[in-house]
Structure 1
């Protein structure tokens, strides 16, 4: 600090006697002023009753109050984070049962679809029904297919006409006798499913072996001219393969579109598959539902 900085000035009032014109001193005093230098011994002098403010050193002054505020703020942030985490866990816990319920519903729906599909397969492949006691509904034995009150068995073995008829009799029936257009339609559609090629035809119970041109069914009844299903120019009694001619009838057409006219005369000695027929019956045996 310089000397000039340590000097302050103050006004000091002095009184001196006032002279009058007569040369005598007057009793009244006349004030005069003089400058007095006073050297400061301290950097600052505190006056009584004055307030002294702290001098800033360019940084924040850490006080206990600030420390408490910072600690409380940190605790508040931690509490908010903890509450958020707890809320998230609760939401996940609440959603988990809903997700499990949805999964269970999906599994239940899938199981129902599987059961429905299984039932559909069961319907396409029917099992033999359980026969109740005193059941008056006529049915067919297992392996036979029912149409109306008649049962039909489709032999897959290739046999002559007479051999085929013997097989049918052993099963309690005979070669099929067609008595209606509806029955012809039923058989024609069935043979389309069972034939492998066009000549894979089936014997029926019609023959003129007793008298040429007189067609009789296996029960001895004559063929009705109004109820015939000859194909094209059949019967032609072709004798080039068998000199005895063609005295038995086979049926079936694989290649052509739906056509009921599918009867062909053929030598009775040529092996073919065959159709057996017998009435549906009631009884205590394994039945076939069609």
Structure 2
């Protein structure tokens, strides 16, 4: 667009004033062609945005990572599930909702360290056994990535946690080596978290 603007400016500076009796004046024709060219450039750029969601057409704020039209923030500090969600909301997002195996794989691939355990936006605190995402939607039975016998709603060695484990995290000791790496956990436990929000499409 900058190049087109420069060409248009240079062209206009060289066009002599036209009288009403000069039908062959080149000025309007040149301007028309340049205008059409600029529109084509804009349409082509927008078409690229639609085809490649990870290209510069989509943007995330500093500190967030872009994947598939979404922005992800991996916190460094550890907090309870509720506090982690508050922190995500304060950043304009929410705890992550995982909508596909592709998204699960992308998040899993980030978890390479021994202590990579992250809260995700899934809980059954309202009704035991009914897992719900932070947007109110129920967990899709075909998109369950629980590890082993999870969720087990463990209540402690001596029943010291009567409410059991009502919040979901992903990753465990040694990192997440398998797609099935969700665990239910005590919501008060401090863990890192993954925030999510929609990427912003750039303007041309």
The correspondence for 1:187, drawn from 103, 107, 112, is 107
Alignment pair present for 1:170 and 2:170: no
* Pairing 1:266–2:185 present: yes
How far off is 1:236 after superposition? 0.3
Give the Cα–Cα distance (whole angstroms) in 2 for the partners of residues 267 and 254 of structure 1.
16
Scaled by the length of structure 2, the TM-score of the pair is: 0.67
Deviation for aligned residue 1:256 = 6.7
Aligned length: 147
- Hey, what does 1:248 align to over in structure 2? 167
TM-score by length of 1: 0.48
Q: d(CA) in 2 for partners of 1:181 and 1:253?
A: 19
The structure whose residues are more often strand, as a share, is 1
In the other structure, the counterpart of 1:142 is 62
Give the conservation status (yes or no) of the 8 Å contact 2:117–2:175. no
Matched, 1:219 2:135: yes
Which runs of no fewer than 5 residues in structure 2 stay unpaired? 1-44, 50-56
Are 1:206 and 2:112 counterparts? Answer: no
Q: How far 1:223 moved relative to its partner?
A: 0.2
CA distance in 1, matches of 2:189, 2:175: 23
Which residue of the other structure, out of 79, 83, 90, is the alignment partner of 1:159?
Answer: 79
Q: Aligned runs of 1:21-40 on 2, under 5 Å?
A: none
Aligned-partner Cα distance in 1 for 2:65–2:131: 27
CA distance in 2, matches of 1:260, 1:249: 15
Could you list the per-position Cα deviations for residues 220-247 of structure 1 after superposition, in whole angstroms to 9, with x for gaps in the alignment?
A: 0000111100000000000115221000
Runs of 4+ aligned structure 1 residues displaced above 3 Å come to none
1:142 CA drift (Å):
1.2
By relative contact order (CA 8 Å, sep 6+), the higher-ranking structure is 2
Cα distance in 1 between the residues matched to 2:161 and 2:80: 14
- Using the TM superposition, give the Cα deviation of residue 283 of structure 1 relative to its aligned residue in structure 2, in angstroms: 5.8
